[in-house]
Structure 1
Amino acid sequence: AERAGIIKSASLLFTTIANAQTPRLLIVARRAHTAGLYAMSGPGFDPAQFLALPTAAISVFGRRALDRFSADRDMPPPAQAALKDMIEACSNPASLVDKGLLDAVIPVSEMRPRIAAFLDMASTIPRPDIRKQVLLV
């Protein structure tokens, strides 16, 4: 019952985010993995700006999940190391900028001015009259 409640709450959250008409700014400060990234209005929700701090890690799997995954499959240590290296290389914010998945990597000192500039810009974006709705079934 508790699990069903969590799933229902998460689906309502995603529906609300998908139907929101406000411009979205996503800043990853530490870590963002899979559902958590989408809960923060990730790339699938087309944020107006997607920024990260230099120390951020953005990936499908977190370190613990990756360790469990490789342990469950009895991977030899060289394969485990190669998998970790691949995940770390892919989750590096600078590489995500190069791939066009992230708009910019910003230092903490730039965060406040970037948020202020985004809010100024967001107030000028025209909002559509017709809303596309994502329905929960």
Structure 2
Amino acid sequence: MPGVDRGPYEGDPEDLAEQWVARHAEWRRVAALMDGRGWPIYSPEQDEQGSAWARARDAQREGALARRAAWQMGRQDARAELKAQVWLSGGVSRRLRTVATRTGLSPEQILAQLADRVRLDDDGALTVDTFTPH
């Protein structure tokens, strides 16, 4: 039902069932540990296995968060990029290839440097000052 807040029950019911099975198994492990060692209360510091699992989960969570942040940065960078296909006349294309050959750059790199230097004047005209591709 759209618009209804289901809280912790949002998502796939099978995933929720698997989570509860895992939680139940962990509670049973903790109860057996407490009974076996005669602990009146649970002490995470004394639970070597549980502490090791918690550290592994924390490391996994931090790695996942770092990968997600890197992925998001990549997506932001990708959205900021513009990929264009340019059709040039034969004469302009030959001049561009000549410049590219002389500078050791690709025609695409020359055009990218040209685009970096474009200014829009007050009257709407595009202007590029003289520059040397590098």
Fold conserved (TM > 0.5)? no
Q: Provide TM-score, normalisation by structure 2.
A: 0.26
* Higher share of residues assigned strand: 1
Q: Provide TM-score, normalisation by structure 1.
A: 0.26
Larger radius of gyration: 2
* Higher share of residues assigned helix: 2
Higher RCO (CA-CA < 8 Å; seq separation 6+) = 1
